[in-house]
Amino acid sequence: MEEAREALRLQPDNEENYANLSDCYLSLDRLDEAEAVLKQAADRKLESEDLLSSRYVLAFLKGDTGEMERLAATAASKPLIEDFWRHQAFMEARQGRLRNARELLTRPGFICPHCLGLIEAPFGDTQRARTDAAAAVEVE
């Protein structure tokens, strides 16, 4: 986290520095601090796929479904945003909506075969996870 803070201090116009620092705070469940960092990025009119993903994760952790829907609509209007869709799929899976997660990870133009196994294995669908893992090995 100290390195992320220093990077942000040295390069305050680099959107990835804001995403990295906010992700540190999110990982530590320091949501108010993550939100403050994301607000600083927004105040500077900075935007990136990583910042959008960080905002989505923050909204999920805060239980703000309206913000999650707004961010998902924003992402849908942009060119392929793989990290965002991956985060969205994992959040859907965490809420027990595996069908939605699978649909997100198999969208046309989006290829993340190893992600399917990662969402299915923890929920007990080990056969499907093995099949997806084998397919991922073939693709990669």
Report angle CA 38, 41, 46 to the nearest 5 degrees. Answer: 130
Q: Are residues 62 and 12 in the same domain?
A: yes
Q: Are residues 63 and 116 in the same domain?
A: no
- pLDDT class of 102 with cuts at 50, 70, 90: confident
- pLDDT class of 82 with cuts at 50, 70, 90: confident
Last residue of a domain, one of 55, 77, 99: 77
Rounded mean pLDDT, 43-61: 93
Q: Are residues 68 and 3 in the same domain?
A: yes
Containing domain of residue 41, as a range?
1-77
Full-prediction pTM beyond 0.85?
A: no
Last residue of a domain, one of 46, 77, 108: 77
Q: Are residues 115 and 72 in the same domain?
A: no
What's the rounded Cα separation, in Å, for the pair 9 and 61? Answer: 27
What's the rounded Cα separation, in Å, for the pair 135 and 13? Answer: 41
Q: Are residues 67 and 126 in the same domain?
A: no
Q: Are residues 10 and 73 in the same domain?
A: yes
Q: Are residues 17 and 27 in the same domain?
A: yes
